[in-house]
Amino acid sequence: MDKFDKDLKDLFQKQAIINEEQENWLDHKVNNLERKKQPQLFSLFKKHRLASVVITLLFVTVSIFAASNLQLFETSKVPISNDKAIARKFQNKQVQNINQTIENDEVKITINDILVDSKAIYFDAEVTLKSKKDNLIKYPYLNKISILNDDGSKIKTQNSSWRLDPETLNYVNNKSRELYKYTDISNKQTLKDIIKNNKSYKLKIEEVIINRQVKKDSEEYQKYQTLNINKTIDFKLDNKINSIESIKYHSDNKDIKVMYLDNTSLNIEFILNESKKSYDNYEVESTDFIDSLNIVTKDGTIIHTDGFEIKSNYQNNKYQDYIKVSFPITLQQSQDQYKFTYNLKSTNKFEAIITK
C-alpha cells in the first residue's frame, strides 16, 4: 500500500458522516420496521401444499367476512418507545418549557416545549383524541398552525411561505407526539431571526387531522377526518435560554454529546468511551472519572469546581451510551460567556466556551 492509498483511506474516514436530518429520517424508518413486518405464517406453510390450500381457503373466507366488517382486521398499534430518538432530536436546540393545553369536546392538545435551533423553531406537541367510540386505529396530528403577533396580526417575514414539517416522536392509538418544525423554504431566514426574546406571540392552531388507518384485504389505506380547532396559545422566548450552537468543541473531542444551559443549570451529556464497555448478559457498565470540572465566567470568576464519577446505567432494556450530568449554576446577566474545562481521566484536558 503506497502513500496515496493511505491518504485516500484517511480522507474517506474523515468524511461521509450523515447529517442530522438523514439520521432522523433513518431512525424513523427503522422504528417503523416493526410495524411493516409481515406475518411469517405464509412462509412457514409454503413448504406444505395441503396447509397452503387450507390457508388460502381461510384467507378467502376471512376476506369475504372482512368486506362486511372492516374492523375485523384492526390490530392494536404497538407504542413506539424511542426516548433516545427524542433526546437526539432535542439536542443542539434551545428548549423552553411551555406546557399549555387547549382542548374541545373531541381533542386535547398540549404544547410541551418550544425548541429553537439555528435553522428553525419547533413545537413539541401532543394531540390526544378524547372519544374512543370504536376500535379503529387513529393517529391525530396538527395541520394548520401559524405564529402571530400578540395582537393577532401576522408576523412579517421576508418570505411568505414557511414549511411545516412534523416529525413523529411517539404515537399510540388516539395519541401522537410530534415536533412541528417551522423552517423557511428558502433557508435564508429563520423564525429565530424574527421572534424576539421577551416579546409575546401567539401560536394559532386551526385544524387537527385524524388519520384513521384501516386494513382491508391485507391492504392498508387511510381515511382522513378534519377537526376544526381555531384556538391560540401565548408564548414568549425567555432570554435566559442560551444557544448550544455557540459551544466550541475541542477539535477531536468526542466525549460530549450535548451541552446546554437552561435557566438554572449547565447540563452536559457525556458520551461513554465505547472501548470501556463490557458486555455481560446484555448489561453494560462503563465508568470514567472526571478529575476536575471548572466553570468560570469570562472574567475569571469560578462558578463551579468539582470532580465526579460518571457511570453508565441500564434502562428500558438497553444500555445508555451517555450520561447526563447537571450542575446548578446561577447565570449572571452581566456575563455573556462561560468557559468550561474538565480533565477526563481517559483523555486529555478539554475546554469549551459556552456563550449566552
Partner 1 sequence: MIDLKQIEKAINNDHEAFASIIKIIQNELFSIAYLKLTNKSNVHDAIQETLINAYTNITKVKQTQYFKTWIIKILINECQKINQKDNRYINVDYEEYFINATSDNTYISNIFEILKEIDYKYQIAIYLYYAQEYQINEIAKILNENENTIKTRLKRGKEQLKNILEKKENQNG
Which residues of the shown chain bind partner 1 in the complex (CB under 8 A)? 4-5, 8-9, 11-19, 22-23, 25-27, 29-31, 33-34, 36-38, 279, 317-318
CB of 130 to partner 1, least distance (A): 31
Name the residue type at position 317.
N
The smaller minimum CB distance to partner 1, of residues 135 and 218, is found at 218
Distance of CA 16 to the CA centre of its chain: 23
Strands 201-216 and 175-184: what pairing?
unpaired
Least spacing, CB of residue 81 vs partner 1, in Å: 9
Is the Cβ of residue 37 or residue 133 nearer to partner 1 in the bound state? 37
Contact of 298 with 339, CB cutoff 8 Å: yes
Cβ-count burial of 87 within 10 angstroms (0-12 exposed, 13-18 middle, 19+ buried)? middle
Residue 165 vs residues 28, 173, 198, 274: alpha-carbon distances, Å: 14, 21, 26, 34
Q: Smallest gap, in angstroms, from Cβ of residue 83 to partner 1?
A: 12
- Taking residue 304's Cβ as centre, other Cβ atoms within 10 Å add up to 14
d(CA 295, CA 160): 43
Question: What's the closest the beta carbon of residue 17 comes to partner 1, in angstroms?
Answer: 5
Q: From the CB of 282, what's the least distance to partner 1, in Å? A: 8
Least distance in angstroms from the C-beta of 11 to partner 1? 4
* Residue 189 Cβ vs partner 1, minimum distance, rounded to whole Å: 19
Give the relative orientation of helices 20-36 and 83-90 as an angle to the nearest 10 degrees: 160
Locate 256 and state its grid cell. 460530549
- End-to-end alpha-carbon separation of the chain, Å? 49
Distances in whole angstroms, Cα of residue 258 to Cα of each of 30, 191, 268, 315: 23, 23, 6, 19
Q: Which amino acid appears at position 295 of this protein? A: I
CA distances from 267 to 84, 91, 94, 258, 329 (A): 17, 11, 12, 8, 10
- If the CB atoms of residues 6 and 345 are measured against partner 1, the closer one turns out to be 6
